Structure 1
Amino acid sequence: MSVTAEVRVRHTPIPGLLSVDLPVHADARGWFKENWQRAKMTAAGLPDFGPVQQSAAHNGRAGVTRGIHAEPWDKLVSVVAGKVFGAWVDLREGPTFGTVHTQELDEHVAVFVPRGVGNSYQTLVQDTVYSYLVNEHWSPDSAYTMLNLADGTAAIPWPIPLEQAQVSDKDKNHPTLADVTPVPPPRTLVLGAGGQLGRALVDALPGAEALDRDGLDLADPAAVAGFDFTGVGTVVNAAAYTAVDAAETPEGRRAAWAANATGAAALARAAVKHRFTLVHYSSDYVFDGTQEVYGEDDPIAPLSVYGASKAAGDLAVSVVPRHYLVRTSWVVGKGKNFVTTMAGLADRGVSPSVVADQVGRLTFTDDLARATVHLLTTGAPYGTYNVTSTGNASSWADIARQVYEARDADPALITETITAEYLADQDGPIARRPARSVLRLGKIEAAGHEVVDQRNALTKYLEGLEPFGW
């Protein structure tokens, strides 16, 4: 076995199964190694899998053979003393089901085994000590998926024939590959699935579990704390209180903070505890609108109750180790929104007065969902990403004119007003809006996602709308 001077991670034919070369420091007294060193190993490419328990198995003779077991957790396996022949079989649902990888392990090598990959080994020398570092506490109620050590399809080339090896009766009776039910992928939950963004996310994430407020009320921290997140790998949170003006009322203020801040914090605690990836959506309303354009790291300075509640939720989510905070603006989806309102007015020949001193870009829910899928499936670095349409920034009046043009109505019917005049004519509390909501898109583009042009996206959206009549 070659010795390396630094941690080195190697990929195998099984996705996510990683072989790790470990530095071993030896002298006349013996040797020393760091079996788990978070900073070095994650920098080398090992997942930051959050181990919580270490177990060790002593094997008295050569030929002890254990497995093949796929547990519902990730683990780092290694040899403390001796040498083993390791064998792994992908038992996860998908195109690599049944893929086999084998290699010898001694004190110089560890292997990271992701959830759902069957793990087994055969000792090659006596008094071998085998170590497991896992990210879930062992429980007798845990569900295991097993494979027979002698399965003919996997055809593992055991150095010591199994008839000469020491194998437990339990391991001898595991099913063959043809009878194994593949391990399903970790569950994905979409919260707020009944909203405009939630519906787009459900369409973009086949197999995701759709939860509305009856399924999980984000405004109830006890409900979040008591929810069963077993087997959940990703939570996509599209649930939020979005009644911007109503949030300025006493009742609305409490509701906005309950869902957008307290609820987001409860979800963040659950994400840390259960180690799932959390996708959370932020808003241009966390900014004060005084800059020409906003990047992901610019200071937040909300003007309204809604903006403040969203900003508080952002801060809570930002401490989750595996999080994507997706900041967006001027969201348009299926259902009633500014674009459908303008389309209806255009179809009826109405001449509306539209604000011209608020500038930003539209974001269409289908495109926002597509960006979310890109982040989740490409292994993009965790953190905050701005996602909107691209192209020239527009005022609401500019967008209204484009809608009128697309509906074959005269754009000259649109008259412009300023925010102060528009708000003066409204009844009830009105939230302050940021004057500029233009978000910088370089980070999501650098992650490989292709953003869409606002004008083209708006045209496509309008083509899908039926005419509005009286």
Structure 2
Amino acid sequence: MTEFGKALTVTETNIPGLLLADLPVHGDSRGWFKENWQREKMIAAGLPDFGPVQNNISFNDAIGTTRGIHAEPWDKWVSVATGRIFGAWVDLREGPTFGRVFTAEIDPSRAIFVPRGVGNAYQTLEADTAYVYLVNDHWSADAEYSFLNLADDTASIEWPIPLSEVEISAKDLAHPRLADVTPIPPKKTLVIGANGQLGRALRELFGDAPEYEYAGRDELDLADPSFSSARHWRDYATIVNAAAYTAVDTAETPEGRADAWAANVTGVATLAKIAAENAITLVHVSSDYVFDGTKGGEYAETDAVRPLGVYGQTKAAGDALVSTVPQHYIIRTSWVIGEGKNFVRTMASLAERGIDPKVVDDQTGRLTFTADIAAGVQHLLSVRPEYGVYNLTGTGSPMTWAELAKTVFTSTGHDAARVTGVSTEEYFSSASGPIAPRPSNSVLNLDRISATGFSPSPMLDSLAAYLD
């Protein structure tokens, strides 16, 4: 019987993510009315904003109609429009709760949120029962399901009406026992730009477990118009965008400008749209070049962006696009050092070859090693602090490029006096092509990410380890 006068409440079950909800139902002598899904109220009550795209109704004539335990690769919001059911849910996801069972009766005053990979079955307790469910992916014959036998001894579901007495399909009766079920794997994390400095660091940290997927530019190019259809995006929980156009000087040329905007803005716009439409958490790596470097102290995440050159402008525009994604982390960093060609390796090579370099001494910042960025990405995805922008660099006293060059020379057993400091203007005075303006101050404040429990490594310790 429908219960009138309930308040909207959400209760956790013994299966992680399976949420039972009591719904307000308003009735009188004419019948009843309820809001079966009201996004604003239900999210406020603790239900996920799972983005339903399809509404299905299963009508059942007789008491005892029983439908099998199916685990689909999408989330479901289950209720009944008329009648009453006994529902059984079994966790068929990979992990420690595989095989866990929850049962409950559902009438028009109750509903349940069923996360992807949790098997769902029901038995009608009244005639003319209409079973209603919203899903957040379109039905597909190619979707990968898992099934469990309704009579499985391990699950031991206590059906109100014995299975021998109910209407049930032969197909549901033939489903495998729990020991033979193929568990539903977790949604995947996709790293884009996997062949770059940061991409390689992420691969080293995350490893090659099946839930991690890596794509270099040859596999996924953000600037490719076909990018939006390159994957079944509902299979992904997280995308880490480690790809970017970073040739700051070439970006000042006509061709470079077009390429920078295509990769850092147009491609990111597509990525942001995909993430928003599919409830994907998007992690995006930004740059100190979004600032003009004129601030007297450290730049905070809330400081207004004032990019000087094309590269900085495209990164600032990309950040603005990513910020529209409901679940996003923008990691703003500076002076990145990883595997491959970089400033530290260049200085170490010059020292070894006996070359005395001139190095800029009017730009100040901190080095950021890709291992630290990768660890910061992992931390944010694990702890899940408030979405938004987080600065992440090495810690320690800021230094100029020239001071860092001297440190490299000293650390590799060479005379630091061989390094001559020069102004940015003097350093580029003989350049034949356009030169991008650089921020003179690239020092980023790290208080926000530190408050989440993440401790970036001391810059000079990371440098010493890198040189070793």
* CA–CA separation in structure 1 for the residues paired with 2:185 and 2:219: 22
Aligned to 1:459: 464
Change (3 A) 1:438 1:133: same
Contact 1:224 1:270 in 2 (8 A): no
Change (3 A) 1:228 1:382: same
Which deviations, in whole Å up to 9, do the C-alpha atoms of 1:411-433 show, x marking residues without a partner? Answer: 33333222222222433211001
Asked whether 1:435 is paired with 2:435, we answer no
Shift of the alpha carbon at 1:441? 2.2
* CA–CA separation in structure 2 for the residues paired with 1:340 and 1:2: 71
Q: How does 1:305-454 map to 2 (within 5 A)?
A: 305-454=310-459
Contact 1:229 1:274 in 2 (8 A): no
Contact 2:4 2:27 in 1 (8 A): no
For 2:399, the aligned partner's letter is S
For 1:295, the aligned partner's letter is A
Which deviations, in whole Å up to 9, do the C-alpha atoms of 1:175-213 show, x marking residues without a partner? Answer: 111221111222322211111111111222233222112
Contact 1:4 1:21 in 2 (8 A): no
Contact 1:349 1:409 in 2 (8 A): no
Aligned to 1:246: 250
Shift of the alpha carbon at 1:29? 4.2
CA RMSD of aligned residues (A): 2.2
Change (3 A) 1:103 1:441: farther
* CA–CA separation in structure 2 for the residues paired with 1:381 and 1:150: 44
* CA–CA separation in structure 1 for the residues paired with 2:190 and 2:122: 35
For 1:226, the aligned partner's letter is S
TM-score, with structure 2 as normaliser = 0.92
Change (3 A) 1:398 1:172: same
* CA–CA separation in structure 2 for the residues paired with 1:19 and 1:378: 25
Asked whether 1:228 is paired with 2:228, we answer no
Change (3 A) 1:22 1:349: farther
* CA–CA separation in structure 1 for the residues paired with 2:457 and 2:19: 36
For 1:459, the aligned partner's letter is A
Aligned to 1:181: 182
Q: Specify the SS of the correspondent of 2:428.
A: helix
Gaps of 5+ in 1: 464-470
Change (3 A) 1:298 1:413: same
Range 438-447 or range 242-251, more displaced: 438-447
Q: Specify the SS of the correspondent of 1:188.
A: strand
Aligned to 2:10: 9
Shift of the alpha carbon at 1:31? 3.5
For 2:230, the aligned partner's letter is F
* CA–CA separation in structure 2 for the residues paired with 1:162 and 1:185: 32
Change (3 A) 1:408 1:129: same
Asked whether 1:265 is paired with 2:269, we answer yes
Aligned to 2:193: 192
Which deviations, in whole Å up to 9, do the C-alpha atoms of 1:50-85 show, x marking residues without a partner? Answer: 111212222233322212011121111122233322
Q: Specify the SS of the correspondent of 1:444.
A: helix
Q: Specify the SS of the correspondent of 2:232.
A: coil
The count of corresponding residues between Structure 1 and Structure 2 is 462
For 1:450, the aligned partner's letter is S
Q: Structure 1 vs Structure 2: percent identity of aligned residues? A: 58
Shift of the alpha carbon at 1:37? 1.7
Change (3 A) 1:3 1:361: farther
Which deviations, in whole Å up to 9, do the C-alpha atoms of 1:307-354 show, x marking residues without a partner? Answer: 111122222222223322222111111111111122223334543222
Asked whether 1:125 is paired with 2:130, we answer no
Change (3 A) 1:82 1:186: same
Contact 2:4 2:26 in 1 (8 A): no
Which deviations, in whole Å up to 9, do the C-alpha atoms of 1:100-135 show, x marking residues without a partner? Answer: 222222233221111111111222233332210111
